[in-house]
Amino acid sequence: MTSARTASSCWTRKPRTSGDWPSRDRPSRDGTGYDRAGGDRSGGCAPWPGRYGGGQWPARDRPAAGAHTIDEVLAAARARLRRLTPEEAFAEFSRGAVLVDIRPQAQRAREGGIPGAVIVERNVLEWRFDPASEARLPWVRGYDQRVIVFCSEGYTSSLAAAALQDLGLAGATDITGGFLAWAADGLPACPPESAGPAGRAC
């Protein structure tokens, strides 16, 4: 049975102390949305009739249909790759694979680089490696090139390698642990001051 009391008489506001979160940032405890408006519910009352009544969250707090977390996106990208250890990447590089450093200049200057690696920062990677792009690198001619991407620690590089696969470069992959793992394994590396702004590292 619905209470005869009105919604306004059923709900009470609590004064906010200096330590309280703003009401717009506080999640509802019971799905009605009232806690987001700043009060408590008594039994038998209708849902809070305010802006977020009826359990409705503002659109900015709800993910769009089909949205994924970055951890899910990363896992999906890596499921498509046969990732390489630094030692495996070095062996393939020695046989002619292309190593691509996608780190920003500031990071290369701080960490160093890999001799002979091609520097193509992440924001232009697809345009430089798409054989159909007018902005491609001059030596990018087909889709069968073995491209091994690396970043600092091997996270952004997985997303980048999956993006290259989307362009048709089926052999694109990345290095587990990125440049820091490469350097920790004692593989050839150039000092930070020699990591150039473009072209090939050291």
pLDDT in tens, 65-112: 889 999 999 999 999 999 999 999 999 999 999 999 999 999 999 999
Phi, psi of 173 (to 5 degrees): -155, -170
| 85 and 28 housed in the same domain | no
Among the three residues 24, 41, 61, which one is the final residue of a domain in this structure?
61
Judge whether residue 187 has pLDDT over 60.
yes
Structural domain including 160 reads 70-200
Structural domain total, the chain: 2
| 30 and 94 housed in the same domain | no
pTM for the whole structure: 0.68
Query: Side chain identity at 30, as an amino acid letter?
Result: D
Tokens of 19: 């330590």
Query: Side chain identity at 97, as an amino acid letter?
Result: A
User: Position of tokens 């359990």?
Assistant: 55
- Residue 112 domain-assigned (yes or no): yes
Nearest Cα residue to 170 out of 141, 140, 146: 146
| 111 and 132 housed in the same domain | yes
Judge whether residue 63 has pLDDT over 50.
yes
Across the chain, the runs of DSSP E, i.e. the strands, are 11-13, 39-41, 98-101, 118-119, 147-150, 173-174, 199-200
Judge whether residue 126 has pLDDT over 80.
yes
